[in-house]
């Protein structure tokens, strides 16, 4: 999907995600942040020279939330984004953010082969990509993007990838996308491609979903993902998963 499409979504993004009051979205985001918080604490608790880097940060939802959760840490936070309107909106929000950590928003192409050169590999870098952002990156650049994340994290850091549950695309996709209408604008009759695990509409919004095994393979990880479980109609389902590239205690 052309990243310029996101330029027109900056204002509506928060209404579809961070400020969305649909119970499924609210619970999904809470579980995702809970898991991310625990992972970050395990990695940098004993390290004072750490950075949390959100690749595809949008308007800053995750870095702001983690800064509030991890205020006892000495971590620095970076939100990396290619869309200028998204970055400008994130920077405006940062002016009113009452955190104690240093938060910076940077404009870089996430698939730039030289992306790792812009970050300090001597630090413990926790590099993450969230909320199925991987699915909107062009297929031919996806592996380069993941390789960039792993290079920036290095041996001391951690690579974290969260994604919607492609193993249950036909059930979960409508429940996630229908509440996100402010951002995606429309759902067409053929928007849910169950065979290929793709959501797309006539306006150019397209997002690929993946199975757990596909994501573990791309991340070169043998670690089973942590499920993001959400209850709907009194039944709990795995709506997404959090993947890491190495075991942590």
Q: Where are the domains of the chain?
A: 4-167+210-244
CATH label, 4-167+210-244, candidates 3.40.50.150, 3.40.50.2000, 3.60.90.10, 3.40.640.10: 3.40.50.150
pLDDT at 156: 86
* Of the candidates 159, 145, 149, the residue with the CA atom closest to the CA atom of residue 208: 145
Average pLDDT estimate for 126-153: 95
DSSP category for residue 211? -
Give the CB-side neighbour count of residue 248, counting CA atoms within 13 A.
21
pLDDT at 155: 86
Question: What tokens appear for 213 in the block?
Answer: 């095994």
What is this structure's pTM? Answer: 0.94
pLDDT at 114: 92
pLDDT at 46: 56
* Sheet arrangement for strand 226-232: 103-107, 76-81, 50-55, 124-129, 158-164, 235-244, 226-232
pLDDT at 249: 73
DSSP category for residue 225? P
Average pLDDT estimate for 24-46: 91
Q: Do residues 92 and 11 touch, judged by C-beta distance below 8 A?
A: no
User: What b-and-e string marks burial along 61-93, b requiring 16 or more CB atoms within 10 Å of the CB?
Assistant: bbbbbbbebbeebebbbbbbbbbebbbebbeeb
Average pLDDT estimate for 66-93: 89
Res. 45 pLDDT band, cuts 50 70 90? low
């Amino acid at each position: 999907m052309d990243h310029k499409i996101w330029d027109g979504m900056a204002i509506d993004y928060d209404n579809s995600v961070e400020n969305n009051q649909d119970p499924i979205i609210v619970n999904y985001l809470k579980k995702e942040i809970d898991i991310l918080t625990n992972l970050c604490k395990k990695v940098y608790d004993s390290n004072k020279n750490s950075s949390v880097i959100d690749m595809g940060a949008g308007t800053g939802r995750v870095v702001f939330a983690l800064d509030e959760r991890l205020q006892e840490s000495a971590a620095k936070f970076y939100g990396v984004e290619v869309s200028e309107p998204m970055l400008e909106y994130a920077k405006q929000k940062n002016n009113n953010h009452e955190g104690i950590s240093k938060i910076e928003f940077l404009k870089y192409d996430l698939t730039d082969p030289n992306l790792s050169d812009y970050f300090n590999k001597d630090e413990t870098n926790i590099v993450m990509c969230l909320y199925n952002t991987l699915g909107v990156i062009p297929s031919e650049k996806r592996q380069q993007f993941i390789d960039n994340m792993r290079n920036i994290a290095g041996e001391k850091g951690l690579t974290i990838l969260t994604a919607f549950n492609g193993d249950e695309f036909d059930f979960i996709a409508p429940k996630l996308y229908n509440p996100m209408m402010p951002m995606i604008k429309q759902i067409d009759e053929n928007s849910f491609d169950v065979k290929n695990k793709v959501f797309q509409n006539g306006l150019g919004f397209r997002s690929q979903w993946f199975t757990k095994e596909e994501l573990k393979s791309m991340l070169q990880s043998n670690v089973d993902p942590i499920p993001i479980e959400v209850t709907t109609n009194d039944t709990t389902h795995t709506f997404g998963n959090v993947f890491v590239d190495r075991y942590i205690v």
